Amino acid sequence: MIEASLQLPATVESRGYARDITGRVMRRWGARIGAAWIVCLVLLAVFAPFLATSHPLLMKSAGKWSSPVLQSLGPSDVILQAAFWMALILWPMRLSVKTKVIAWLAVLIVTAIPSINSLHPPQLFVYQHYRDAVRSGKIEQVVFAPVPFSPQDHLRDQEDMRLQPPEHVHWMGTTDNSADLLSNMIHATRIAISIGFISTGIAAVIGVVLGGLMGYYGGWIDLLGMRVAEIFDSIPTLLLLLCFVAIYPPNLYIMMAIIGATSWVGYAYFVRGEFLSLRDRDFVHAARAAGIPLPSIIFRHMLLNGLTPVIVTASFGVASAILMESTISFLGIGLTDESSWGALLEEALGGGGTFYWWIALYPGLAIFLTVFAYNLIGESLRDALDPKLGRMM
């Protein structure tokens, strides 16, 4: 008699699950293109102070070599460098995810504290000094950055470089206040990336926490929470953003918090729905009857199930956060000290009907490609995580 051999299903670790999902997502060409673009942007953002700056990378003056660019770095530049290199070093290492995250955060904090205290790059700088010095010979040898213009460099040593179309010195032309467009675009990458991730992170945290509370406790917490969610859901987002922005002077971090505070509702609905349906499932009752503590039930069983729509929503959420920030900046209400892509786009239509096509094309293309990249990743995530869609495509 042949007996069928029994095979026990292999237990799935959560890390294995994450890796499996990543594998399935990355197999799709859409996700690959999107991820490639995001990686490019991250590289641009991290290395912006070295890629696009009027400060020479290396300079020999009066016989001595110096690196002005290093002296011009601010705390955020240094922290970003530390974060990037630490992540690169930690990634291939064979440690648990928790250890790696803790190590990374530790290095960040260790870098952040002294740099915030000690690094004070000058706020105003006369950029044309370098070019004058090179012309007059005071600087003997110099190595400039690939894009030798800072975003704030208004080219005061050259006559009327406002709104010049692209040519070989300024690869993307110049803006309304004679700044190099490419340099502004590279530095604006930071805003795009950080707004995207951080505001979506804030929105997701708020949404998941509130949704979880509503779904788990039910009762009047749920009623109250749903009314609040409905209020946030019914105001046209842009209007709400405008109102919040009115409260505080526009600042990158405030902006992130504000965008986060206006987009949490979707996450809350998903998590609440998941918790409500799971609450009465048999396995939750069984777990409680077995004496498993409540937070453990919530985190290990309920949250993990409910996270998949949150992840998909988050990817689309990053795209929409970037769109919102661009729109607000375009309307002139957003960040004022640093230019973001949206703010740059606003200058494209000049008075009297002139159209500066390079100012319209490049910033707009950048926003579009970034949003498209996140949408592609979101789509691939949804296809990979949602079993119902399966082979439908």
Q: How far is the CB of 371 from other proteins (least distance, A)?
A: 4
DSSP string, 21-47: HHHHHHTSHHHHHHHHHHHHHHHHHHH
326 binds other proteins (CB under 8 A): yes
Q: Select 20 or 386, whichever has its Cβ closest to other proteins.
A: 386
Cα(109)–Cα(383) distance, integer angstroms: 37
Q: Is residue 238 near other proteins by the rule CB under 8 A?
A: yes
- How many of the chain's residues bind other proteins (CB under 8 A)? 53
The one among 244, 257, 311, 338 contacting other proteins by CB under 8 A: 244
**Is 307:273 a contact under the CB 8 Å cutoff?**
no
Alpha helices in 280-340 (DSSP H): 282-289, 294-297, 304-330
The reply on whether position 235 binds other proteins by CB under 8 A is yes
Binding span for other proteins by CB under 8 A among 88-96, 134-142, 276-284, 320-328:
320-328
User: What are the backbone dihedrals phi and psi of residue 59, each rounded to the nearest 5 degrees, phi first?
Assistant: -145, 135
Determine the interface stretch with other proteins among 110-118, 151-159, 207-215, 327-335 (rule: CB under 8 A).
Answer: 327-335
- Site residues for other proteins, 275-314, by CB under 8 A, read none
From CA 329, how far away is CA 335, in angstroms rounded? 6
User: Cα–Cα distance between 22 and 34 in angstroms, integer?
Assistant: 14
C-beta closer to other proteins: residue 144 or 330: 330
Binding status of residue 317 toward other proteins by CB under 8 A: no
d(CA 271, CA 207): 8
Q: Does 243 bind other proteins (CB under 8 A)?
A: yes
The answer to whether 246 contacts other proteins (rule: CB under 8 A) is yes
Q: Between residues 161 and 319, which has the closer beta carbon with respect to other proteins?
A: 319
Is 378 exposed, middle or buried (CB count within 10 Å of its CB: 0-12, 13-18, 19+)? Answer: buried
What Å distances lie between residue 36 and 32, 39, 139, 186, 292, CA to CA?
A: 6, 5, 39, 17, 43
Residue from 36, 97, 106, 231 in contact with other proteins (CB under 8 A)? 231
Q: Is 318 in the site for other proteins (CB under 8 A)?
A: no
Could you say whether residue 17 binds other proteins (CB under 8 A)?
no
Q: Taking CB under 8 A as the rule, does residue 237 contact other proteins?
A: yes
Binding-residue pattern over the window 20 to 59 for other proteins, x denoting contact by CB under 8 A: ----------x-----------------------------
Q: What is the CA radius of gyration of the chain?
A: 25
Q: Which of 344, 367, 333 minimizes the C-alpha distance to 163?
A: 344
**Best CA proximity match to 25, nearest among 378, 391, 317:** 378
349-368 mask for other proteins (x: CB under 8 A)?
x---xxx-x--xx--xx-xx
Tokens of 124: 């105003």
| Residue 4 within binding range of other proteins, rule CB under 8 A | yes
Asked if residue 227 binds other proteins (CB under 8 A), the reply is yes
The pair of three-digit structure tokens given for residue 318, joined into one six-digit string = 């990053």
Say if residues 44 and 51 touch (Cβ distance below 8 Å): yes
Tell me which stretch binds other proteins (CB under 8 A): 50-58, 65-73, 159-167, 235-243.
235-243
Binding site for other proteins (CB under 8 A): 1-5, 30, 227-228, 230-231, 234-240, 242-244, 246-249, 319, 323, 326-327, 330-331, 333, 342, 345, 348-349, 353-355, 357, 360-361, 364-365, 367-368, 371-372, 375-376, 379, 389, 392-393
